[in-house]
Structure 1
Amino acid sequence: MSDTPNQTRKASDLLVECLEAEGVEYIFGVPGEENLDLLESLADSSIKLVLTRHEQGAGFMAATYGRHTGKAGVCLATLGPGATNLVTAMAYGQLGGMPMLAITGQKPIKHSKQGRFQILDVVDMMGPLTKFTHQLASGDNIPSRVREAFRLAEEEKPGAVHLELPEDIATEETDSRPIPASQARRPSAEAKAVRQAVEAIEAAKAPVLVVAAGANRRMTCKMLREFVEKTGIPFVTTQMGKGVLDERHPLFLGCAALSSGDFCHRAIEDADLVINVGHDVIEKPPFFMTDAFEGDARGQTDKVVHISNTTAEVDPVYFPQIEVIGDIANAIWQIKEAVTPQETWDFTRMLEYRQAEHAHSTPLEEDERFPIFPPHLVWQVRRAMPEDGIICLDNGIYKIWFARNYTAYRPNTVLLDNALASMGAGLPSAMMSAMLYPDRRVMAICGDGGFMMNSQELETAVRLGLNLTVLILRDDAYGMIRWKQKNMGFEDYGLKFGNPDFVEYAASYGAHGHRVTSSEHLADVLAQAGEGGGVHVIDCPVDYSENDRILNHEIKELSAAL
């Protein structure tokens, strides 16, 4: 791309220059004829085009790039069906707080000769799914629209944005130049709000820290570690807050993977103050507030301090009394510097719940039945993964087991979606992780239903030369919905299916296939896949028959009895 001032060139060239100025490394997608000018411009750029086998996979990869880096990942599709295939991935990034940009093509908007063939109002369609959507109707306006798109995608709360580039606009001549990003800092929390929070924490008898999705940012992790070390206040995470703090810490009380009634929920209920950091309404609430703040604490919490970039969205179960609004890391630092740990704090009861959870989980982890029992599966995977290894979960009943039982050591080493909770994201998410971190072990963990929704991306993974393990948990059914079906008293109907031979299926793409035949064999296969290069696909039968007994009854009855 030329840097000569005032030199005219195609608008598609300018668009690529603007993307380069934003630091874009990759564009993931499936181009169509409406993208051909942009494709030609990309060929002469520093940006690598990653051709996927479905637009949804491209979108999931772009969102995961944003999740890891904080910079907007970029995906590309044509008009009509190409754009509609991005919808699920855009919603995934938008709800999950993952910065991403989708660029779609369109027929000429000035002199169209094809009627309405393939034409949808994509800009209008993307409106409810994004923070920003815009049709580029002039080459001269590209720099400002691209800069605005990236600004909105990356600022809190991060999310999805969309630009549409019509064919005739892509070929326009323009002498506009990219607009450089401005240096912006998020505002700090007001001193009075910080002081109110400190006073509430010091006055509490048993405060607890809840780490949620919005706290999963680099500097916030550091400040929260320092806060916990200074105060000694125990902490709980939500599913998308996993890994923000090292879960081997003796003050970790568990992950709120169930809706209520788990050991960690009881620990929160025992608190008289919840310090709720990065709360996001897209996640199931880790606790429920009521309008009664006296008497028995079970089922309610007395007071909540909301610490986030934005004010709390009030609903019937969440209406915090104190809000500390501003940069989260800075707010935690201010509170940490000002607070004095109190000798009157008593966390005994909370920690007893955590001990009880360990006592309950350990025998389950040692259950070596075959097909594999979910708690034992989680234990085996944790043993197989290095400290910096990354697991990327698709969506299914196993996600609850991993959220509860898998110990996360570092931020963004457990990628799960507790927002849109879409099936089909596990494999593309792991592919992106493997691209970004080629020296770390990455494992996609998918149910057989979710895996088959984007299994064609195995070809992309092999073509890219990725080192990746894909663990398929096979129960030959949509297991999560079968569990819900049973819970609600319905007959077992309509949710079973057949599967291909996953070992041969993997081989057909040039990947390595493995079939687990026993609990002991699983450990050997996980080790073999981790040591060998390339893409390894593991067919692992699982036994979900006791989900209802353990998750719906045993855990809740044991925790309630304490």
Structure 2
Amino acid sequence: MTKASDLLVRALEQEGVNYVFGIPGEENLDFLDSLSRSQKIQLILTRHEQAAGFMAATYGRLTGKAGVCMATLGPGATNLTTAAAYAQLGGMPMLMITGQKPIKSSKQGRFQILDVVEMMRPITKYAQQIVSGDNIPSRVREALRLAEEEKPGAVHLELPEDIAAEETQQYPVQPSMVRRAVAEEKAVRIAVERIATARSPILVIGAGANRKLTSKVLTQLVDDFAIPFATTQLGKGVIDERHPLFMGCTALSAGDFVHRAIEAADLIINVGHDVIEKPPFFMRHGQREDASEDDPNNPVEVPEGTQVIHISFRSAEVDPVYFPQLEVIGDIANAIWQIKSGLAEGPRPNWDFARMKAVKKHHDANIAKGEDDQRFPIYPQYLVAQVRRVMPDDGIICLDNGIYKIWFARNYSAHSSNTVLLDNALASMGAGLPSAMAAHLVYPERKVMAICGDGGFMMNSQELETAVRLKMNLSCLILNDSSYGMIRWKQANMGFADWGLQYGNPDFVKYAESYGAQGHRITSSAQLGPLLEQCLNSEGVHLIDCPVDYSENDQILNYSIKQLSAAI
């Protein structure tokens, strides 16, 4: 006979789980005791359940294996809901395990009891209460299968206290070997024909393409056939952005140079598109009167007659602005390989990319503008350039959510997949530092930097203690403007008065030191690069307080870029 909580740990070990992130409560103590005897799983005790969920989700994003987090019932479980939505929308595999009062008998009435399973169901792929220790092997296998299956996402299991203490004779289920289905040959053949006969195709790379093998075959396709490509924010780095055919990232919704390149195409090959992200272009049946190029909330419209090919693991979620004429559904890497092979069998296509190359020249010049502006507080373009200069090719930056995310998505050149971790799905604040901590656990030999606004950082700043306790090596760059800068930018753009979004901050150097981290403060632009380099190459946890100058955000992002790109 085996204790049910011991069986749960064995089932997780069978699945290759390395970490459980979270905060135990009274109802998790059987599971915690079982976990203490595991030789394969390390408990990462955090200071807030939300941060534990962010860590588990990022672990899942980087490995493809579900990250596991735990919390108690009631408030512990509710604290996981933001992270559940973060993983679900962002396509990150994650398993949440929460405790519950005994379900067979209880002496505490309804104290702390919520229907956590029903609460989790709308924001997960799977949510179940375990009602018998005998069910643990099948429930764990099914939960993890669904979490990791495309599109990946969050799953939830609730383990009541009395079920955890049960005895059972069951054994873990052996994970099955699963291969993704490949795209239909006929759909691939039609895609090849349309690409070969297009006048000027373009690849638009989205979140679903951010997989290692997909990156390899897409790079081969671009190299072999010289097809220009652009990315969404979640598609950054799938192909090295130093490539001469990189047209840019759709960091802005509309009116940027990259949108001019998309407009120049008569065929858009949309790879790994997910409607969770703001679409980088509008499709239309006829002239739209509600979509203006001057409206930053509306992406670019492609000319009528432009065809769209959807290549993804799942069929397109059709909405008023996205209804592709051809879908190639199956393993993306295999589909791209088939298309590349099909193109190689025919005559070399006669494409014309003169318009896109002209746009590219203006794009690159605009990206370089401001990189040497050494004003203080730090200018965003200069900041991005300095971070890119000190980060190695495989270095990982983990962005929280704020106005700087647009600057990094647009101006920071990603050299490989999953080296720019940002969230353009739920777009939650507070994920930057926990994401960096998870990245360090997965890749302890690589340089990792969290980049956070002061607002987002303070939402999970307590995890500095966790990072110090675990002797992590990472840097956290705080972009300090003493306000919620993204919302101030939107406020200015909408013509409202600058009001209600400014606050005070602690002394971040002393704050870091109070946790045992090393605190630094930028006092001149010349200091930025050397200090970043010093922190990245030193052991321990480093916190850098960097004042930033966002005064030109509204003019540049809402007006100047749109005017310059429209003139091409």
Q: TM-score, structure 1 length as denominator? A: 0.97
- 1:126 is the counterpart of 2:120: yes
Query: Quick one: distance in 2 between partners of 1:419 and 1:362?
Result: 28
- Aligned with residue 240 of structure 2, among 238, 246, 249: 246
- 1:355 is the counterpart of 2:361: yes
SS in 2 for 1:137: coil
- Aligned with residue 279 of structure 1, among 269, 273, 278: 273
- 1:32 is the counterpart of 2:25: yes
Q: Aligned residue pairs: how many? A: 554
**2:319 alignment partner in structure 1:** 315
**1:60 alignment partner in structure 2:** 54
Letter in 2 for 1:302: T
Shift in alpha-carbon separation, 1:341–1:206, aligned structure 2, 3 A: farther
Does the CA contact (< 8 Å) of 1:516 and 1:522 recur in 2? Answer: yes
Query: Quick one: distance in 2 between partners of 1:531 and 1:22?
Result: 35
Query: Quick one: distance in 1 between partners of 2:286 and 2:219?
Result: 33
Shift in alpha-carbon separation, 1:148–1:298, aligned structure 2, 3 A: closer
**1:262 alignment partner in structure 2:** 256
Does the CA contact (< 8 Å) of 2:369 and 2:381 recur in 1? Answer: no
Describe how 1:511-550 pairs up with structure 2 within 5 A.
Answer: 511-550=517-556
Does the CA contact (< 8 Å) of 2:146 and 2:152 recur in 1? Answer: yes
- 1:22 is the counterpart of 2:15: yes
Letter in 2 for 1:141: N
Does the CA contact (< 8 Å) of 2:197 and 2:349 recur in 1? Answer: no
Letter in 2 for 1:556: K
SS in 1 for 2:155: strand
Query: Quick one: distance in 1 between partners of 2:78 and 2:167?
Result: 29
Does the CA contact (< 8 Å) of 2:282 and 2:302 recur in 1? Answer: no
- Aligned with residue 417 of structure 1, among 410, 418, 423: 423
Letter in 2 for 1:497: Y
Q: Deviations over 1:306-341 (max 9, x none)?
A: 001111111111110010011111100000000146
Q: CA deviation at 1:297?
A: 8.0
- 1:447 is the counterpart of 2:453: yes
Q: CA deviation at 1:99?
A: 0.2
- 1:71 is the counterpart of 2:65: yes
Does the CA contact (< 8 Å) of 1:213 and 1:238 recur in 2? Answer: yes
- 1:153 is the counterpart of 2:147: yes
Shift in alpha-carbon separation, 1:289–1:15, aligned structure 2, 3 A: same
Letter in 1 for 2:275: V
**2:6 alignment partner in structure 1:** 13
SS in 1 for 2:369: helix
**1:225 alignment partner in structure 2:** 219
Q: CA deviation at 1:146?
A: 0.3
Query: Quick one: distance in 2 between partners of 1:82 and 1:374?
Result: 37
- Aligned with residue 48 of structure 1, among 14, 17, 42: 42
Query: Quick one: distance in 1 between partners of 2:504 and 2:281?
Result: 39
Shift in alpha-carbon separation, 1:300–1:372, aligned structure 2, 3 A: farther
Q: CA deviation at 1:417?
A: 0.2
Q: CA deviation at 1:301?
A: 6.5
- Aligned with residue 337 of structure 2, among 315, 333, 340: 333
Q: TM-score, structure 2 length as denominator? A: 0.96
Shift in alpha-carbon separation, 1:399–1:341, aligned structure 2, 3 A: farther
Q: Deviations over 1:348-406 (max 9, x none)?
A: 11121111012222231111111001011000000010111000000000000000000
Query: Quick one: distance in 1 between partners of 2:327 and 2:544?
Result: 47
Letter in 1 for 2:255: G
Query: Quick one: distance in 1 between partners of 2:154 and 2:94?
Result: 5
Does the CA contact (< 8 Å) of 2:27 and 2:160 recur in 1? Answer: yes
Letter in 2 for 1:319: F
Higher mean C-alpha deviation, range 432-441 or range 464-473: 432-441
Query: Quick one: distance in 2 between partners of 1:84 and 1:112?
Result: 21
Shift in alpha-carbon separation, 1:138–1:341, aligned structure 2, 3 A: farther
- Aligned with residue 163 of structure 1, among 134, 157, 161: 157
- Identity %, equivalent residues: 70
Does the CA contact (< 8 Å) of 2:262 and 2:302 recur in 1? Answer: no
Query: Quick one: distance in 1 between partners of 2:55 and 2:445?
Result: 18
Q: CA deviation at 1:278?
A: 0.3
Letter in 2 for 1:327: D
Query: Quick one: distance in 1 between partners of 2:528 and 2:8?
Result: 49
Higher mean C-alpha deviation, range 115-124 or range 521-530: 521-530
Higher mean C-alpha deviation, range 353-362 or range 102-111: 353-362
**1:5 alignment partner in structure 2:** none
Q: CA deviation at 1:128?
A: 0.7
Q: Structure 1: any 5+ residue segments left out of the alignment?
A: 1-7
Q: Deviations over 1:403-433 (max 9, x none)?
A: 0000000111000000000000000000011
Describe how 1:293-442 pairs up with structure 2 within 5 A.
Answer: 302-339=306-343, 340=346, 342-442=348-448
Does the CA contact (< 8 Å) of 1:149 and 1:162 recur in 2? Answer: yes
Query: Quick one: distance in 2 between partners of 1:169 and 1:301?
Result: 60
Query: Quick one: distance in 1 between partners of 2:424 and 2:302?
Result: 25
SS in 1 for 2:103: coil
Letter in 1 for 2:13: E
Query: Quick one: distance in 1 between partners of 2:304 and 2:408?
Result: 26
